[in-house]
Amino acid sequence: MRTRLARPAAGPHPLNFRSGYTFFDGRRRSLAAAWAGVRYTLRTQPNAWIELAALGVVVAAGCWFRIRAMEWAVLGLTMTLVLALEAVNTAVEAVVDLVSPEIHPLAKIAKDSAAGAMIFAVLGSIWVAAFIFGPRLWALIF
């Protein structure tokens, strides 16, 4: 015998009818969860501390050299990308630890690949900083 899928009750539904939250309550909860992830990443990841310190140095250098608006935009996007990938790397590590608490070759690949993405981002950020600050530092030194 076939069972019928239940139809939603008649009448207006909140936009997030599967969760039962209204649109704005769902957005508020999503934002709160995102900030919890930011706090967790910054609290537990020493590399994030290094990246924030580097961000401080870059902002100070940008102010000192009075870089242009487009250079600020590129630096801002680059710094945001590095911090975002740090959060993604943290999430990948947590999920891998959850689903594979024992050592497994595929777990190692997942963690190493996420860390490798960080290396790409950091190398890219160094490249961007070299193009923006390199000529200014060169003129200052020589």
Residues that are catalytic: 86
Task: Provide the token pair at 34.
Answer: 């995102």
Query: Quick check: 111 and 92 in contact, CB under 8 A?
Result: yes
Query: Quick check: 91 and 118 in contact, CB under 8 A?
Result: no
